[in-house]
Structure 1
Amino acid sequence: MRVASVAGLALLAGLLSGGGSAADETTGPAGFAAACGAEDSDTGTVTAGVGVAVDVPATGEVGRPVQPGPVTLTVTLSRADLAELLPEGTEAFVSRAALKVEVAQNGDSAEASWELHAPSTPLPADGDVALVHSGDVPYVTLGSAGDVDFSVKELTIELRAATAEPEKTAPPLTTVMCRLKEGENGHLATTRVTDGAGTDPSGTSETPTTPKGGSGRATDKDIAVEPATAEGDEDPDYCPVEPPVGEVDASEAPQPPPGDPVSTFENPNPQASCANAAGLANVFKMDGAMIINDPADHPALVSVKTLTHVTSRPPDAAGGYYIRIDNLANLELPDADSTFLAFGFQPVTAKVSFENSPITISTGNVGTEAFSTAYFHQSLRLHDVEINGTPLDVGSNCRTSKPFKVVLNGGAAYVNVGVGGRLDGEVTIPPFTGCGTGGEDLNPLFTASISGPGNRVFMNQASTCIPTNPENSYCPPPPAEIPGEERAQ
């Protein structure tokens, strides 16, 4: 609520910028009419227009998460009706929305709560007011094949006047309940879930089972909405509270074209969040690749501070529109296991440790073209090396001679840091140093077999989770398919 309205609108522009989605189906916005009124109030109800736009996969598999999102919820009220719901003298306000969504399949149903937020919105003098909420939502896991319907059942909005120092002057809170008017079914989307072998769903539920990753709370149903842990599984990774540290460096992102000066907003209170990410790193000379941050082996979370800076310039006569949203991230990668055929015939296994500098993730638009860039420096260290099953002592400091630059680009495929997406690039690995013990110099061996240009890197980031939001503190897993179909080519 400290962020000025213009910055809030800039954030919204960043959330909506960029094209494409990992989802197979984009619905909406679905439009409904709702009757809304203040909770515990005798002032009656008012009519609101409700629009929901959400990306939903067209197909899914039994036991694997179906991830709706991102979600944009627009609630439109007349200025007069909205003013009745706000404290007298309100000039700007913030709002939070909770959509109750029914997830139904084969006669069973469960309820999902979609928590969404809107930036600070000024109260105009007249006309209609659109409250635009957005955010990420929990995934759903199904234990049986069959069509799954997502439908809006109810909407709760919390309105609060925006103040400069909300922690010192707590503004009054208004809770507004909205129910769909008669004749509105609230349907959003349908996902066809198969048994994983491509078999068409029969529409008849088999004996319910608790899917892996399901909550276990809906034991009488075959639908798990909340991303919790099934019995016997390890505890999931929840977003840590430690935010990333370091300085933003957006030098590798597209810069403003020549023209009018740009303005930069520095956010004094960026949101701390986390995300899962996984990928592949090719080693060109080895004609192979290794998995980075393996989802099956205790992956690390990316720690993110969102919207640290917003740099923008309004459109000019030549169409020189520009906006860039910078985010700061840290990622302490676990060791990666690698197996290659050195020189085309000798099997070599090793563990690779990574040292990363702070990561700057920038998204935005230059004119009508969306961009996304992640930029950082990285060093590699090799250890636990074996050649044809025989240990090779490389010492404790066998590493690249210097950090190397990593620049990953996603274009419009990486929507924004909140939604995530795919990024890829190419790196040049420096020569190795410090390899060998007892006077044996193994630097030339690793430099000859690994160092050089042409090494492709592919990363896929899942949507973020927020430690201060109980409804969104669980981090969704990265996409099931690790990017890099071009691996070792």
Structure 2
Amino acid sequence: MRGAGVPRRTVRLAGLAAAALVAGLLSGSGSAAAGRDGPLTMAYRCALPGGDQPVHAVLTQLFPDTGAVDKPIQPGDLTMALTLPRAAVDGLVPDATGTLAGTGTLTARVTQGTSAADAPWSGLRAPAVPVAGKGDLVLTFKGEVPPVTVTAAGEVSFAAGALALELAPGKAAATDATPSPVPATAAPVKVACTPQAGQNALLGAVPVPVPDPTPSGSPSSSPSSSAPSSPPTPSAPGTSPGASASTSPGASSKPGAPHNSTIKVEPPVHSGKYDCDVLPKGKLDFDHIPLKDEQDAGATVTETTFDLGSCAYATGYSNVHKLSGAAVINDAHSAKGPSLTYINMNVRMAVQPNPPQYYEFDSLGSMTLPVADSTFLTYGFVPTTAKMALTPDPVKPLLTIVTTGTNFVEQNVITTIYGYQWLRLYDVRINGTPLDVGPNCRTRAPIQLALVGLQDAHMPGGGDGKPDYTILDGGPLHQENLTIPAFTGCGTHGENLDALFTAAVSGPGNSLNLNQGTLCAPWAGLGCDASTGTEIQIPPLPHR
């Protein structure tokens, strides 16, 4: 029958479902927090090998101009320049040609009136720096921190507390044509640092005004934040998510002071994993290899025969250009938990030690993400749910990871993670009513991943000032122009919904924003250790 079409109700539901899907893929990365506070200098006493040593830290962090009751207060990224005395450096790295890197956790004391709570800010990372010389050594730690929420008005203060460091000695990159495949490392050294008493430890403060008494159900005059809220942490019955502390019943009720307020701190998420149980093996995708053979640049190319099995967690958001919304990729708070990404480090190396110097290290990876469950108010009022499955391409199932550059000759170190993932949609519901899209509603071609991480803090001027990324230390990964292919196989009972999903979702200009945790590398004694209870780190969600 010529001119036959899809029933109007089906078209309407499909349009809503497509919009919901887009919302489910969207990133809600908010703008960077504005702040008023300058650097804070802190004096610590650290239990280093050979005895306690004085250590100075300069901490820089921005805070929002204002907060709101029952809304996340998101401090900005923390930068901490830690000065280690030369005697301590020599005790950690006896080899003058070696390096020192580190990870750290700063315990922040959050107070509001008579309420207080400790917020462990873990995942701070300092890239490896050469230890050559006779002066003190500065390690620059950077990282994102989780938000806090308060239940009453009043100024919220953030103060620096104890430091827990894990310092990793290493070996400088080799300068001959056949370098070591990875920096040789000794076991990381755990160091506890206590702030000296009597000093100013205030990082910043955020005023939280009394809420606008707008009647329930009336339009609010304040704009909503574009940043996605972090998923709630599962709690035992009768408890609140996260760590919290409440004021006593007799707390002050002066204007601006909290009364019976609770400070809720997003707690660290424990992985319960201490080792990597998958080793990616196969072939690199040479479509993405910059230096394909020794003739390209007169370099020495080595294909290694050893296996360096490693793994890490990466969490974040995806972003679709066409509509607004937010959902978490590899949700650490989901019922099944996040999935590990597995890496076989440096299966191929290309090195040109003579000017112009060139270093390329190629690795293999594998990643199978859990299904993303998303719930949204489509168009602001229609409750919509959908499931999104990303699965590796069966033809090219492995990730090809290319790292170029070295920080030993003032080069940007750029890591690009290439891969192919199919996107499938199912279990779509509009206001609780199922919309049957069939079992094969998916993209016509795999999505092409090209996630980029940058290490540039070692460059003159300190680089771009953002947290660095390295495979070993983790950090932010971005893909700013991701294309989602057209859809196929959507619809049942003769109804073809492909065009609706394609119009709502497919196209260029999309993005992925992920945050990788510290690499678990048992062969190097890094990032995980069942004997010491060192879990594989699940990183906080990224924010901008």
TM tier relative to shorter chain: 0.5 to 0.7
Query: Measured at CA, do residues 271 and 449 of structure 1 come closer, stay the same or move farther in structure 2, by a change above 3 Å?
Result: same
C-alpha distance in 1, partners of 2:362/2:209? Answer: 39
For residue 265 of structure 2, what is the aligned residue in structure 1? 225
2:58 matches 1:32:
no
For residue 126 of structure 1, what is the aligned residue in structure 2? 134
Larger deviation: 263-272 or 420-429? 263-272
C-alpha distance in 2, partners of 1:108/1:314? Answer: 58
C-alpha distance in 2, partners of 1:365/1:21? Answer: 30
Answer whether contact 2:271 2:535 (CA < 8 A) is retained. no
For residue 150 of structure 1, what is the aligned residue in structure 2? 158
Answer whether contact 1:307 1:325 (CA < 8 A) is retained. no
Aligned mate of 2:313, from 252, 274, 277? 274
C-alpha distance in 2, partners of 1:396/1:147? Answer: 52
Q: Give the alignment of 1:4-43 within 5 angstroms.
A: 22-25=32-35, 29-34=39-44
Larger deviation: 57-66 or 301-310? 301-310
C-alpha distance in 1, partners of 2:191/2:475? Answer: 28
Answer whether contact 1:398 1:432 (CA < 8 A) is retained. yes
2:242 matches 1:214:
yes
How many residue pairs get aligned? The number is 417
For residue 106 of structure 1, what is the aligned residue in structure 2? 113
Query: Measured at CA, do residues 434 and 276 of structure 1 come closer, stay the same or move farther in structure 2, by a change above 3 Å?
Result: closer
Answer whether contact 1:32 1:186 (CA < 8 A) is retained. yes
Structure with greater strand share of residues: 1
Query: Measured at CA, do residues 194 and 174 of structure 1 come closer, stay the same or move farther in structure 2, by a change above 3 Å?
Result: same
Segments of 5+ residues of structure 2 without an aligned counterpart are 1-29, 172-179, 213-220, 223-237, 249-260, 455-463, 521-527
Aligned mate of 2:507, from 454, 476, 481? 454
Query: Measured at CA, do residues 238 and 154 of structure 1 come closer, stay the same or move farther in structure 2, by a change above 3 Å?
Result: closer
Query: Measured at CA, do residues 250 and 102 of structure 1 come closer, stay the same or move farther in structure 2, by a change above 3 Å?
Result: farther
Query: Measured at CA, do residues 315 and 145 of structure 1 come closer, stay the same or move farther in structure 2, by a change above 3 Å?
Result: farther
Structure 1 residue 76, shift from structure 2 partner: 1.9
Aligned mate of 1:189, from 204, 207, 222? 204
Instruction: State the Cα deviation string for residues 196-246 of structure 1 (Å, max 9, x = none).
Output: 7699xxxxxxxxxx9963324667673233517xxxxxxx78576667775
Structure 1 residue 272, shift from structure 2 partner: 3.4
For residue 369 of structure 2, what is the aligned residue in structure 1? 331
Answer whether contact 1:72 1:132 (CA < 8 A) is retained. yes
Answer whether contact 1:34 1:48 (CA < 8 A) is retained. yes
Answer whether contact 1:379 1:403 (CA < 8 A) is retained. yes
Q: Secondary structure at the match of 1:60?
A: coil
Letter in 2 for 1:150: F
C-alpha distance in 1, partners of 2:334/2:192? Answer: 45
For residue 179 of structure 1, what is the aligned residue in structure 2? 195
Q: Secondary structure at the match of 2:70?
A: coil
Q: Secondary structure at the match of 1:126?
A: coil
User: RMSD in angstroms over aligned alpha carbons?
Assistant: 6.0
Letter in 1 for 2:69: V
Letter in 1 for 2:419: F
For residue 76 of structure 1, what is the aligned residue in structure 2? 83
Q: Secondary structure at the match of 2:481?
A: strand
Answer whether contact 2:341 2:368 (CA < 8 A) is retained. yes
TM-score, normalised to structure 1, is 0.58
For residue 376 of structure 1, what is the aligned residue in structure 2? 419
Q: Give the alignment of 1:306-345 within 5 angstroms.
A: 308=345, 328=365, 329-334=367-372
C-alpha distance in 2, partners of 1:132/1:189? Answer: 20
Structure 1 residue 322, shift from structure 2 partner: 8.9
C-alpha distance in 2, partners of 1:414/1:129? Answer: 19
Q: Secondary structure at the match of 1:61?
A: coil
Structure 1 residue 185, shift from structure 2 partner: 0.9
Letter in 2 for 1:30: L
C-alpha distance in 1, partners of 2:188/2:105? Answer: 19
Structure 1 residue 126, shift from structure 2 partner: 1.9
Letter in 1 for 2:148: V
For residue 70 of structure 2, what is the aligned residue in structure 1? 63
Answer whether contact 1:21 1:55 (CA < 8 A) is retained. no
Instruction: State the Cα deviation string for residues 384-436 of structure 1 (Å, max 9, x = none).
Output: 67999998876544544543435577998996484447644352534635965
Larger deviation: 272-281 or 302-311? 302-311
Structure 1 residue 50, shift from structure 2 partner: 1.9
Answer whether contact 2:450 2:479 (CA < 8 A) is retained. no
C-alpha distance in 1, partners of 2:59/2:508? Answer: 42
Query: Measured at CA, do residues 368 and 196 of structure 1 come closer, stay the same or move farther in structure 2, by a change above 3 Å?
Result: farther
Query: Measured at CA, do residues 330 and 219 of structure 1 come closer, stay the same or move farther in structure 2, by a change above 3 Å?
Result: farther
C-alpha distance in 2, partners of 1:171/1:465? Answer: 15
Q: Percent identity?
A: 25
Answer whether contact 1:160 1:173 (CA < 8 A) is retained. yes
Query: Measured at CA, do residues 74 and 260 of structure 1 come closer, stay the same or move farther in structure 2, by a change above 3 Å?
Result: farther
Answer whether contact 1:96 1:158 (CA < 8 A) is retained. yes
For residue 175 of structure 2, what is the aligned residue in structure 1? none
Structure 1 residue 180, shift from structure 2 partner: 3.3
Structure 1 residue 190, shift from structure 2 partner: 2.6
TM-score, normalised to structure 2, is 0.53
Letter in 1 for 2:483: V
Instruction: State the Cα deviation string for residues 102-143 of structure 1 (Å, max 9, x = none).
Output: 222224333334444556666545222223444554543323
Letter in 2 for 1:214: G
Answer whether contact 1:78 1:129 (CA < 8 A) is retained. yes
* Higher relative contact order (Cα pairs below 8 Å, separated by 6+ residues): 2
C-alpha distance in 2, partners of 1:377/1:279? Answer: 15
Structure 1 residue 57, shift from structure 2 partner: 4.2
C-alpha distance in 2, partners of 1:275/1:66? Answer: 23
Letter in 2 for 1:144: A
For residue 461 of structure 2, what is the aligned residue in structure 1? none
Answer whether contact 2:39 2:61 (CA < 8 A) is retained. yes
For residue 355 of structure 1, what is the aligned residue in structure 2? 391
For residue 403 of structure 1, what is the aligned residue in structure 2? 446
C-alpha distance in 2, partners of 1:395/1:375? Answer: 30
Letter in 1 for 2:448: K
Instruction: State the Cα deviation string for residues 75-116 of structure 1 (Å, max 9, x = none).
Output: 323424654x55988985665655343222224333334444
